[in-house]
Chains A and B, each alone.
Chain A
Amino acid sequence: MKSSVIVFPGSNCDRDIAVALEKMQFKNKMVWHKDTSLPKSDLIVIPGGFSYGDYLRSGAIAGKSLIIDEVVKAANSGCLILGICNGFQILTETGLLKGTLLRNKNLKFINKDVNIKVINNSTKFSNKYKKDEILKINIAHNEGNYFTNSNHLDELKKENLIAFKYCDEKGNINEETNPNGSLENIAGIYNQKKNILGMMPHPERMVDEIISNKDGINLFSSLLN
């Protein structure tokens, strides 16, 4: 499977995701944001970081870069797109995913391992996970507080487009287990066609027992499945 990782000035998880993809036997290429064509890819990853120093709004400037037109075209023709952290913010700024990510409710940058629950396990990104499986995945963000209008929230629920929700070790989803104030504890969502996933947690950081755990591996093996 071929993957491309888009690199912006200020991306800082691009190498991490590349290492994770290569470990999982993806044939990966790095693509600079000024490029105007994409290598043939089955998966495009928009990595985490602080593209353009989060100027204006997180992801706003990167969302207008040259390569994004190609990413939108690829997305519309069914290519799989994964946006992690700043990548999720960029996807909402381009309009590929609806809603937006506000400042964390407690106004603090949060960097910790949190529990998330797999809500939909029947997509290209999640088929190797069990339904309601609880994962421990790292989050590291300042703007992770997902917000959308009530019509879209209804659509997310009705069409099973919520990918992950923040919870505790036992799977309880409530205000106490919500690290950043996200609407209904949402940690990741799909678009309607389910070929685009945006998520705040970092699965690429959870692919090796030595540095963390392996809870992120199944996301990549789902894609290969």
Chain B
Amino acid sequence: MEKQFRLNLKKNKLKFSVTVTLKKDVLDPQGKVVQNTLVNMGMSNLKNIRQGKHFEIEVDENDTEVAQKKIDEMCKKLLVNLIIEDYKINKI
């Protein structure tokens, strides 16, 4: 029975990744410093670097669409500052 329970748990779990990046016109000083350092290290064909954040989120839900809506709500309410950041949700 416990085995069945674990199996169910596994079945109901959906995993998503959320990538948060600064909007295009917002200055990203950390990305710039990383870029400059890489250029100084000899990576001369480097064009541009933007630094961001990555979240991996598991939800107890079996309907992908419902889960995706939940993740979207999490992004809008806490994970992302919509004034300066963009985000992308991907199923993994």
Residue ranges of A at the interface with B (Cβ–Cβ < 8 Å): 56-57, 60, 64, 93, 99-100, 102-103, 105-107, 147-149, 181
| A103 pairs with B30, CB closer than 8 A | yes
> Cβ of B66 < 8 Å from any Cβ of A?
no
Chain B residues positioned under 8 Å from A93 (CB to CB): 81
| B78 pairs with A60, CB closer than 8 A | yes
Chain B's closest residue to A60 (CB) is B78
Q: Which residues of B (44-58) have their CB < 8 Å from a CB of A?
A: none
Number of cross-chain contacts by CB at 8 Å: 29
| A148 pairs with B81, CB closer than 8 A | no
Q: Given A102-B27, A105-B29, A107-B33, A64–B78 Cβ distance below 8 Å?
A: yes
Chain B residues positioned under 8 Å from A181 (CB to CB): 27
Chain B residues positioned under 8 Å from A148 (CB to CB): 83
Chain A residues positioned under 8 Å from B77 (CB to CB): 64
Q: Which residues of B (26-49) have their CB < 8 Å from a CB of A?
A: 26-27, 29-30, 33
Question: Can you list 11 residue pairs at the A/B interface with Cβ under 8 Å?
Answer: A64-B77, A100-B81, A100-B83, A100-B84, A102-B26, A103-B29, A106-B29, A107-B33, A147-B26, A147-B83, A149-B83
Residue ranges of B at the interface with A (Cβ–Cβ < 8 Å): 26-27, 29-30, 33, 77-79, 81, 83-84
Chain A residues positioned under 8 Å from B29 (CB to CB): 103, 105-107
Chain A residues positioned under 8 Å from B33 (CB to CB): 107
Chief secondary structure at chain B's binding surface: helix
| Cα distance, A57 to B29, chains bound together (Å) | 15
| B30 pairs with A60, CB closer than 8 A | no
In the complex, besides A93-B81, A100-B81, A105-B27, 7 extra interface pairs with C-beta distance below 8 angstroms are A64-B77, A99-B83, A102-B26, A107-B29, A107-B30, A107-B33, A149-B83
| Cα distance, A102 to B28, chains bound together (Å) | 9
Rounded to whole Å, the gap between the CB of A141 and the closest CB of chain B is 15
Rounded to whole Å, the gap between the CB of A155 and the closest CB of chain B is 14
Chain B residues positioned under 8 Å from A149 (CB to CB): 83
Residue of B30, B78, B84 touching A56 (CB-CB under 8 A): B78
Chain A residues positioned under 8 Å from B81 (CB to CB): 57, 60, 93, 100
| Cα distance, A102 to B79, chains bound together (Å) | 16
Chain A residues positioned under 8 Å from B26 (CB to CB): 102, 147
Chain B residues positioned under 8 Å from A56 (CB to CB): 78-79
Chain A residues positioned under 8 Å from B30 (CB to CB): 103, 107
Chain B residues positioned under 8 Å from A107 (CB to CB): 29-30, 33
Chain B's closest residue to A145 (CB) is B27
Chain A's closest residue to B82 (CB) is A100
Chain A residues positioned under 8 Å from B27 (CB to CB): 102, 105, 181
| Cα distance, A57 to B83, chains bound together (Å) | 13
Rounded to whole Å, the gap between the CB of A209 and the closest CB of chain B is 37
